[in-house]
């Protein structure tokens, strides 16, 4: 089981999503950005590092959501999601093909990586719009 963090990044009423490149596993699927936890790294440190390396952005973590284990055919991951605010940085894609800032209502129309679907469902149940964060 691979431990992977992901960030549901909020900015100006929108949520950041990234599209995996053709060279990556799960090519062209959409996901919440993040990555694998390295040795001697906390979940939070991993998310900060991955977002800086892959996208060039800084965030402020708001809350951790429930982890979601997922079994693909050839590997298994434990997806550890965080809701966070975008603090600074213009997005520069170093590994992904594309990114979008979408409203809550637009999120369900994407072709998501399967492991991200339960995370998306959990996030939508939180209803960040009415809580004043999104």
Summarised one tens digit per residue, pLDDT across range 98-121 is: 999 999 889 999 999 999 999 999
Residue found by looking up tokens 């298994």 in the block: 76
pLDDT at 25: 85
- Is residue 85 in some structural domain? yes
pLDDT at 121: 95
| 3 state SS of 117 | helix
Nearest to 101 by CA among 134, 61, 59: 134
- Is residue 121 in some structural domain? yes
Distance CA 59, CA 134 (A): 15
The CA–CA distances, whole Å, from 38 to 4, 27, 34, 44, 63 equal 9, 23, 12, 11, 21
- Is residue 56 in some structural domain? yes
Exposure string (b/e) for 25-40, b if CB count within 10 Å is 16 or more? eeeebbbbbbbebeee
Nearest to 10 by CA among 75, 86, 104: 86
- Is residue 29 in some structural domain? yes
Q: What is the pTM of this model?
A: 0.92
Domain interval for residue 102? 2-126
- Whichever domain contains 71, its CATH number is 3.90.79.10
- Is residue 88 in some structural domain? yes
- Is residue 111 in some structural domain? yes
Q: Is the pLDDT confidence value at 19 over 90?
A: yes
- pLDDT tens, 74-88? 999 999 999 999 999
- Is residue 89 in some structural domain? yes
Q: How many domains does the chain have?
A: 1
- Is residue 134 in some structural domain? no
Q: Is the pLDDT confidence value at 97 over 60?
A: yes
């Amino acid at each position: 089981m691979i431990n992977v963090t992901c960030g549901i990044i909020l900015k100006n009423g929108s949520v950041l999503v990234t599209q995996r490149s053709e060279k990556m596993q799960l090519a062209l699927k959409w996901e919440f950005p993040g990555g694998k936890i390295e040795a001697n790294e906390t979940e939070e440190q991993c998310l900060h590092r991955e977002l800086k390396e892959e996208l060039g952005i800084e965030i402020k973590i708001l809350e951790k959501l429930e982890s979601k284990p997922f079994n693909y055919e050839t590997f298994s991951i434990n997806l550890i999601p965080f809701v966070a605010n975008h603090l600074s940085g213009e997005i520069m894609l170093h590994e992904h093909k594309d990114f979008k800032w979408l409203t809550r209502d637009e999120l369900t129309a994407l072709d998501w990586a399967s492991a991200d679907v339960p995370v998306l469902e959990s996030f939508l149940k939180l209803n960040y719009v009415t809580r004043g964060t999104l």
